[in-house]
Amino acid sequence: MTHKIYASPRRIFTFPAVHPCDAVAPATLLASLVNLATTICGYKSKLFAANKRNTRELIRQIGILLVFLEEILDRRLDLPASAVLSFSELHVTLQKIVYLLEDCSFGGARLLMLMKSERVSNHLRILIRATATALDVLPLELIDVSDEVKESVELTMRQARRVRFEVEADDERASKDVLLILDGFEDGVVPDSGDIRRVLDYVGIRSWSECNKEVKFLDTELGLEWSNMEKREVAFLSSLMAFMSYCRFALFDVVDGEAGQQLDKGCSSDVLNCLNPDDFRCPITLELMTDPVTIETGHTYERSSILKWFGAGNPICPKTGEKVVSMDVVPNMALQRLIQQYCSANGIPISELGHRNHDITRTVLAGSLAAEGAMKVMANFLAGRLAAGTSGERNKAAYEIRLLAKTNIFNRYCLAEAGTIPRLLHLLSSGDSSSQHNAIAALLNLSKYSKSKTIMAENGGLELIVGVLRKGLKIEVRELAAATLYYLASVEEYRKLIGEIPEAFPALLELIKTRTDRGKKNALVAIFGLLTFPDNHWRVLASGAVPLLVNLLTSSEREDLVTASLAVLATLAEKLDGTITILGTGALHLILQILNSSPSRPGIEYCVSLLLALCINGGKEVVSVLVKNPSLMGSLYSLLTEDNSRASKKARSLIRVLHEFCERRASGLVTPAFPEERYVDVW
């Protein structure tokens, strides 16, 4: 009865308690109350960052009630109606207490709990008095328990009415210290490390990983706050997040936990490379799942989609058609974490909780004056570490820059202005694989800011990044280098300069040959971006890309890789030499096969674009093959329903070409359907 209240994610300081149904059996209600009270008493061993004495007193009083409830349950006493009513109200209050204690003891919310200590103490006072109110109607004289237990309950009720739960003096002092540090950040003042250490010790943050957990939690809360109309807490949360970000790099020299392994060895993408990203999509919507849940058949769906399916009166599993007895859903947290890792590795923005669209345009501004000042202090500090630190300090500085620049535009601006980019480029030549890895990852994140691209190019970054692409110490480094080239290729001048580097395209093709899907994907999108500069067209062909791309169409089981390969081939086919090379591989029938079987809408669109370009440049020899394919016209006509989509327009053009060819052939005209005859071999 109590477990399901924790099933779905909730915003902190929200208490979605569920009132027991009127027909609930007294024994069931009592058992659930005992379960809730036991859960509350279990928080006695938890760490509370603030309101330490207040929470202990609350838990103590609930512990007295637990003895009372257990005695009633053990003795299977009959309860009068007024007692059931009292216990029903108590059940709602205990649910809320569990939620509040869960928030107060949450490992990532320690700083927020300190800064919200007054709000927490108010909640504690309200809930303990609600407990007393629920017990007011309890007819103790009609319940056959020992006099000692009755006296304890009566004493607890009196204490609950009198308890004040005021803000604790130590909490007030610590929160004032934080506010003073934030005021200093506004003026560009570097805080005293002893002052910061004292605050962190008070709330129980003693490691880099604990500090990072706070940053992640505050970032999530900040994203949720941005989705609110009022946005009242944006400045406050931005300041706290900046405070913890500063603490993370300024106080802790050792990066511990899973992040420490990433710092020392670099990210391992082996697990993700073994997974099919199509399994991350909801079978109903075909979109990446943000809140995956599993139903009793064992299949997983997006929570909102499957609940809508069940709500529409469909008590069956959409994937198997099997009838389900229970429509309960269970959160699939393991899959959610894998999806988050996949999105992070492939640059796909996705909310951690599935409650918000992580639109980073909100990060153009710092969010508060304190956050702005803190970031500028951090950027200058990190630039200094890169310039004059030890090898270990430079590596950690690169890692911190990598984190700060990942999803924040203002941070990228500050880091670029502080002069970190030339020093990161210098770090690319490091013989330490971890330093090289963190440097290229930081440059990748910074390259998403327009001015950073200019700084990289002006400091010889294009050649250095291509060098890492060719001879990076680890495959992950080469993958990140390819992704960085993709962002740099968004500037026309740099597309030209990258293309003129002789090793660029051969190195990208070597990356496609590797066993990692991430490497293939990054190389393909980089080539696609570079092809928008006309002179790079012949360079890609000369490097032998086409046979490799065609082979990828048959060898890869991943739809995204097939789609990316088709996109590059479609671009190459827009010119005659590209068409000749593609047709020379015998790929025409393979492209038709993919068009008729692909579940990917972008893949179908690129197939149609590719076929249209082959027809235009290949002439009637190509068209004559297409008109013999019995399923082609059906696939093309199915795209016409998409109104003004690009796929619909391309399909309409290709249908027109095929119809004109058939009409000319039927009329006996020997004039070719195209203004210029093309002589190509079609396999």
pLDDT score, position 298: 83
Q: Which residue has the tokens 């944006």?
A: 234
* CA-to-CA separations, 297 to 300, 312, 319, 322, in angstroms, rounded: 9, 19, 9, 8
Least Cα distance to 423 among 448, 442, 447, 450 occurs for: 442
For 526-548, what is the mean pLDDT?
A: 94
Looking at the predicted structure, is the pLDDT value of residue 679 above 70?
no
- The per-residue pLDDT for range 43-59, each reduced to its tens digit, is 999 999 999 999 999 99
User: CA of 69: how far to CAs of 32, 62, 374, in Å?
Assistant: 10, 10, 52
* Per-residue pLDDT at 632: 86
What are the tens digits of pLDDT across the range 314-367? 888 887 778 888 888 888 877 887 887 777 655 554 443 344 445 677 888 899
pLDDT digits (tens, 9 = 90+) for 91-118: 999 999 999 999 999 989 999 999 999 9
What pLDDT digit, counting tens, does each position of 587-629 carry?
Answer: 999 999 998 888 778 888 899 999 999 999 988 888 888 988 8
Q: How far apart are CA 280 and CA 293, in angstroms?
A: 12
Question: Worst-scoring range by mean pLDDT, 19-33, 178-192, 470-484?
Answer: 19-33
Integer Cα distance of 575 and 540 in angstroms: 12
Residue 331 has φ and ψ, to the nearest 5°, of -60, 135
Give the residues across from 316 on adjacent strands.
323
Average pLDDT of the residues in 233-244? 95
> Is the confidence at residue 65, as pLDDT, over 80?
yes
State the pLDDT at residue 223. 85
Mean pLDDT of the chain: 86
For residue 260, name the pLDDT band (cuts at 50, 70, 90): low
Q: Which of 242, 266, 265, 253 is nearest to 396 (CA)?
A: 253
How high is the pLDDT of residue 6? Answer: 37
Q: What is the DSSP string of 122-171?
A: HHHHHHHHHHHHHHHT--GGGS---HHHHHHHHHHHHHHHH---PPPHHH
Mean pLDDT of 524-542: 94
How far is the C-alpha of 405 from the C-alpha of 446, rounded, in Å? Answer: 6
Whole-number percent of the chain with pLDDT over 90: 54
Best CA proximity match to 274, nearest among 441, 518, 513, 475 = 518
Sheet holding 300-302, edge to edge: 300-302, 292-294, 330-331
Q: What is the mean pLDDT of residues 271-294?
A: 74
Q: What is the pTM of this model?
A: 0.80
What is the rounded CA–CA span in Å between residue 526 and residue 546? 15
The token pair at 469 is: 């692409």
